[in-house]
Amino acid sequence: MDRRSALKALGILTGTVTLQACAGKRVTQAVPTPPSQPSVLKLPKVNVQADREIRTVVGLRPFRPSGFVVRPQKLDDKLVVHNYGHGGGGVTLSWGTGELACRNVDQTGEKNVAVLGCGAVGLATARLLQERGCSVTIYAKDLPPNTTSNIAGAQWFPYYVFDSGHTTPAFMQQFVEAAHLANRRFQIMVGSRYGIHWLPNYWLGEQPIPNAGLLGANSPLNDLVAEKHYLAPSENPFPFPVALQFDTMLIEPNRYLPAVMDDFRIAGGQIQVQEFKSIAELQNLPQRVIVNCTGLGAKALFNDEELTPVKGQLTILLPQAEIDYCTLAEELYMFPRTDGILLGGTHEEGVWSLEPNLEAKQRIVTGQAKLFAAMK
């Protein structure tokens, strides 16, 4: 037998090894082959061009370095339960801190309650009070679509809520509980009526996320981030060496806020447009319990010196129905909504102006155009 015949008999040339058993049965065993590398993800690119820009909007986040406030305060014969200062996490945390605030209301036994503010936090708190059997009146200076919540990017994740060096263990416990409560509530609201959808996100960077970060391996929010994993180099289409994929919800404020407001009214809630310029004016309200969800308005109304504005702006492009993912690249982010593609990435602390920052806009648009042009 020549060498080729011998190799063929052993199955080496055909990719299998054939064994002759004692009983005469032939057993075929596959030779393992090296696993193939995953192919690059095929994601459609965002078309970032100046003639596709439809508007630039500005909002002021109510930020406190030590985090949001949820606590009661006695004012003469009134009890004010504070629920404000959520920074960039107002929509995200609204149902969670609303629940924490409602627990303070529960202890009073009162069923006739006032809520100050008609943004995401005020509406969620008002609905939770209604679900407890309360009669609720919302008092607000502005209603949707003219609230700060309408300007939010509103991806579900509690970004820019506090400075890590300023928090206490008690606050962090509140924060984690509020995040879990809110996440569960938004999950049962997913769908077209509220404008809430699950989408994959791609965090992009030069190095992996630190373990201690909110998206890191040691995060207390890990169970709220679905399908989290790093892309293999061969499947990463982005011009960054590191791409972390995870799934979360995107909330569209222009659909979500009117839908929740409708729910509030259907349940018998009343809304009154009214601005309060001093604590003394609250004494004229018929309700003995008031939940303060005024956001940045709490700085003047309740003299909160720590509360500060953090200006954020979004440049919005024409919608692209095929874009079904979000990106978070350094300071830039892209969220796709039915009303347009949101391009953001500004955090101007202490700035009160509602005028667009044209220099920041150019930085965002140029950075986003460069990112998507370089995608594989």
- The full set of domain ranges for the chain reads 1-33, 50-373
The span from the CA of 183 to the CA of 251, in Å, is 12
More reliable by pLDDT, 30 or 77: 77
Tell me the pLDDT band of 194, cut-offs 50, 70 and 90: very high
As a whole-number percent, the residues of the chain with pLDDT over 90 amount to: 86
Helices 90-106 and 120-131 pack at an angle, to 10 degrees, of: 40
Is the whole model's pTM more than 0.75, yes or no? yes
DSSP assigned state of 191: B
Tell me the pLDDT band of 37, cut-offs 50, 70 and 90: confident
Q: Please give the pLDDT value at position 33.
A: 54
Tell me the pLDDT band of 36, cut-offs 50, 70 and 90: confident
Q: Is the pLDDT of residue 34 over 80?
A: no
Average pLDDT over residues 8-31: 38
Using the Cα atoms of residue 268, residue 274, residue 276 and residue 282 in order, give the sign of their dihedral: negative
Number of neighbouring beta carbons within 10 Å of residue 369: 16
CA distances in angstroms from 294 to 8, 37, 105, 131, listed in the order given? 81, 53, 17, 21
Tell me the pLDDT band of 19, cut-offs 50, 70 and 90: very low
The span from the CA of 153 to the CA of 159, in Å, is 11
Average pLDDT over residues 98-111: 97
In this predicted model, what pLDDT tens digit does every residue of 199-252 receive, in sequence order? 999 999 999 998 888 898 899 999 999 999 999 999 999 999 999 999 999 999
Average pLDDT over residues 295-304: 96
CA distances in angstroms from 24 to 11, 12, 170, 305, listed in the order given? 17, 21, 74, 89
Q: Please give the pLDDT value at position 12.
A: 29
The span from the CA of 273 to the CA of 31, in Å, is 75
Q: Which strand (E) or helix (H) includes residue 272?
A: strand 270-273
Average pLDDT over residues 70-86: 96
The span from the CA of 309 to the CA of 318, in Å, is 29
Q: Please give the pLDDT value at position 32.
A: 59
Q: Please give the pLDDT value at position 20.
A: 36
The span from the CA of 285 to the CA of 180, in Å, is 33
Range in 13-27, 179-193, 232-246, 283-297 with the lowest mean pLDDT: 13-27
> What is the number of residues in the chain?
376
Phi, psi of 236 (to 5 degrees): -80, 115
Q: Please give the pLDDT value at position 213.
A: 84
Average pLDDT over residues 42-49: 96
- Using an 8 Å Cβ cutoff, are 181 and 102 in contact? no
Give the list of residues 6+ apart from residue 328 with CB closer than 8 angstroms, or none: 201, 202, 203, 204
More reliable by pLDDT, 95 or 36: 95
Q: Please give the pLDDT value at position 141.
A: 95
Q: Please give the pLDDT value at position 31.
A: 52
CATH for 50-373 is: 3.30.9.10
Q: Which strand (E) or helix (H) includes residue 174?
A: helix 169-187
Strands (E), 39-188: 53-63, 69-75, 78-84, 112-116, 135-140
How many angstroms from the chain centroid is the CA of residue 53?
A: 23
As a whole-number percent, the residues of the chain with pLDDT over 70 amount to: 91
Q: Is the pLDDT of residue 273 over 50?
A: yes
